[in-house]
Structure 1
Amino acid sequence: MFGSLRSRLIALLLMLGGMAVGVGWLMILLLRQSESAQLGQATVEAEQACQAIASSYRFYSNGWSGPTAGLADPTLQRSLAGVASVALLRYRGMAGGLWQEQAGILADASPFTLTAAERQHLADLSAATLAEARSLSDSFSADGATVLVAACPLSGPIPDLAAWTLTRLTFAEGSGQRQLKLGLGLLLLAMLAATLLLGRLTWQWSRHVARVERDLGASASHDLPTLALTGERELDQVLTALNQAGQRLAQARSEAQRLTTQVHASERLAVLGRVAAGVAHEIRNPLAAMRLKAENALVGDSGRQQRALDAILLQVTRLDSLLRRLLDLTQPLQLQPTTVELPAFCREVLAGHEDQAVQRGIHLTARVAVEQGYFDRDALGRALDNLLLNALQAAPAASEIRLDASRRGDWLVLAVEDAGQGPPAELRAQLFEPFVTGRPEGTGLGLALVRETARAHGGEARLIEPSVPTRFEILLPCQPC
């Protein structure tokens, strides 16, 4: 569900926070329920105490015709207070008495002094009781305590008389409630501590991971940087292993670079050996022919000497062409790329080989799917000439050779296709190396020049394998080099 350690820690942190809120809310509900239960019990006791005063008053007034000295008589008020006191003996801490509509509080058997607010609430509730002719109870807060008042109407010789009770609640908790609240409080503290600890852990890990990610991203080399430890045991084990892997990678890279240098040196020596052998082979034959002709000319007549000189000049021309091609390979090409119209360029390249193609009955065609290219016109023309010469030598009579220009992604592809068998399989791995050829009369420099021309343009030359017909491709970047 979650993709990273950070997201898992955050999810766990949110769960712990939610549980802590739930436990806190449970404690609030428990406290409220405890207060409600105590208030309900106190209400029942206050109403029972009020009924007890009513019963005591009925017993007191049985057969009594009422006060003769009026309601303000101190003796009457003390007698009525005694009636209330007797009724409240069972109710510890309960205040009570009698209230008359004209006289107000007629009797007070309270163990404490009533406040003005309590007297006012008592009078209002007693008046409401007489008006509704039924028992009533009410509560209100005063000075941080809850005051509960109950009143019930009385019948007897004194009209408009009501009994009242009043108690002050401090919501004392029982031992079971205290233990439950203590347990919930400890659980809440533990969850809050776990939430804080997990939050700190999440923050630290996020900071460490961000630093490691920053250090890895800031490294400009190909080797892994040495990462500083964080102090977190598990994370440091990973970082230590990563540092060791980086050291091994650096050592392996250094060893690979050393071996690559040796391989390149070996390859250069091998290429140099092949070039030297090829040059020696290519020069030996013309030199031997020129020597033979020169020896014959020394002992022959003027006509024979003229023919010998012509043959010698032909071999000198061959050597000069070989040396120029060798120089083209050894010296970097000085390119002058321009925008070239490909249809006209392809027609021009094919036109230079029409005579040879006609002699063998070969049909030259072009398929141009791109209008323009950006390259050195002369250098690429010579490269395509080499590919077409190879195709003309390899293609069977009365076949077709096609010059293809197309675009493949960001590359311009110039290809030559012929119906020949292609180069021998054993030569294909070194086909573009100098002096690698499958024809006894070939120099093996044409394809090497093709590859160097393509690379000078930022591209590559290759033989498509397997391919029927045989297809050589030159890939050039479509944008200017």
Structure 2
Amino acid sequence: MRLPRVPLTWLLGAVAILASLMFVVSVASLTRVISMSSEQRMERSRELIHREFARWLTEPDAEDPRARSMVVGLRGGLASPPSVSDGPWSLRAGLSVEVDDALNALASSANGDGISFTTIEASEGTILLGTRRHDDGRLLWAAYSIGRPRFLDTWRNTVVVLTLATVLLGAIALVAVVGTTRGARALKRSLAALEQDLSADVARPAIAELAGVADGVSSLARSLAEAQHESEALSVELRRTERVAALGRVVAGLAHEVRNPLASMKLRVDVARGAEDVPPEIVSELEAVDEEIARLDRLVTDFLLVSGRRLGRRIDSDLGELTRRRALLLAPWARERGVSLAVEGNAHAHVDPDACARAVDNLLKNAVEASPTGAQVRVRVSPCDDGAAVEVEDRGPGVPEARVAELFEPFFTTKPEGTGLGLAVSRAIAVASGGQLSYHREEGVTRFALHLPPTGARA
């Protein structure tokens, strides 16, 4: 049968708590024995002296009696009478002078079967001395220290410190166990949340080691989230590139098939317009046909730009002047819609001027068409860290959040009319120029920012 797995932290905590309890119980028992009161020590000493005397009387041939105690051993024995009437008794005890003198005094006066007790203040401390006369005339004696042990106060203080230290260690172990367990559970929940969402917050436990693990997990999750985001962006870009490549192959053939007839049509229109005696109404119609031919040619050009056709020669250009010129040309059309254009700032960029004008035209038209009557489209031209920027702002409704990802795709439009190529063409021009086109919506303001490379840049 497989035994259940027990966490190591619980085992360590249980061992620490058990050891603490055993130490506290042992120290308490020892302290209780050591810290007996004076009366208790006196009574214990009397019991020991009676016991040793009884043993000696019942076993006269035994060795000199010795008693053992946790603190001080009982000392005693038989004293022989003096060989000279005024000489001292032979005690063989090796006790201090005070005890010897007291024993000699008791020996001189002891008689009968009774036990005589006296206390003496000697160098060993307070001594309880008991004597009894033996049948053969010798003196049976026993001495026991009953004074408070000198080391008791030191031992008691040591016991208090050790007990507090043990309790503190037990508390630390308990806190460590609880903190580790809670931290591990929090990390487990965070890992479960990260399985669903890499942006989920990772709980940071109070235990320093687990907090380090949590920081590592959080950093790893952020890295994985960034890698996932980049992977998704690359997948989107790859799909877009594949679509553009497929579109490019189609557009290349379409441009060839369409532009040849357009060129022939334009030539015939130009010849007809140059003929003599052409009625004015026919000239007007021929001009309208010429405009439509030009519009179709621009449409083919737009398709080619979106499909990745290279731009014309790039030169250092005055971006502010170019933008003002395009705004001036579009101003009458904008006024018809009740919208005004305002351009400020200046900067220079390394671009194809014709392509850049197409991109600016598309952004201005898009902003005017999105603006309500009476509004103003603001255009700001300014240098930036990576070149120059043209920012076009309007107060139109913007693009629904759910469709922002489609904003620069070919044929995307939220308007009932239009081809949906304007922003796609502007973005294609920005990318082909080495820049980018971005969209922002904040506090009711829509902003398109066209970033272009600085002057002196080379393709």
* TM-score tier (shorter): 0.3 to 0.5
The TM-score, its normalising length taken from structure 1, stands at 0.43
Bigger radius of gyration, 1 or 2?
Answer: 1
The TM-score, its normalising length taken from structure 2, stands at 0.44
